[in-house]
Amino acid sequence: MKHTTRSRRTVLAAAALLCALPLVLAACSSGSGAPSAKDTTAGVGAGWGACMREAGFEVEDPDDASVESGVLAAPPGAEQEEFQRAGARCAKDAGVHGASKADKQKWERQYTKVASCVRENGYEDFPEQRPGGISTEGYPRAEEPGFETAVHDCLAEFAPDTTTQNVG
């Protein structure tokens, strides 16, 4: 039987090298450490949020699923169409591909039913919605007690897969 012995100095040197390797590799990496809109390792939500801030919107980073589904609410005071355009561009830059035609048609049917449901639940003046979406921006009764519950209940009934996230 052959025994191999290593000097204590060799073992300590190897251990020190293994401990120092991550620090050396981190020091060699490029970048400032701050995530950019193009940084895909930070996640879709982080990339989207950084891009939207670069576009002038005060937003927090949403979760990845919200960006991938396209269901994000504009921050208060933001111009809705400008926010949607920038959001779509930032989603594309973050690597999100558009929804299928079938999904868009499904959402249009669902949100038409949601808007009708909201009207049937005491908000008869709830405005017509753009196809495939629901927005309460500019609707003065949106601040009334019970409105949020009505919208939530209608979404749960007619668009159960919908998640919303306010990023403002």
Full pLDDT tens readout for the chain, 168 residues: 443 333 333 333 333 323 332 332 333 333 334 444 444 446 889 999 999 999 999 999 988 877 877 767 788 888 888 998 999 899 888 888 777 788 888 888 999 999 999 999 999 999 988 877 788 888 999 999 999 999 999 999 998 887 665 555
What is the rounded CA–CA span in Å between residue 154 and residue 168?
23
Predicted model pTM: 0.49
**10 phi/psi in degrees, rounded to 5:** -65, -45
Q: What residues does each domain of the chain span?
A: 40-93, 101-158
**Cα–Cα dist 46/62, whole Å:** 7
Helices (H), 6-96: 8-28, 44-54, 64-69, 80-93
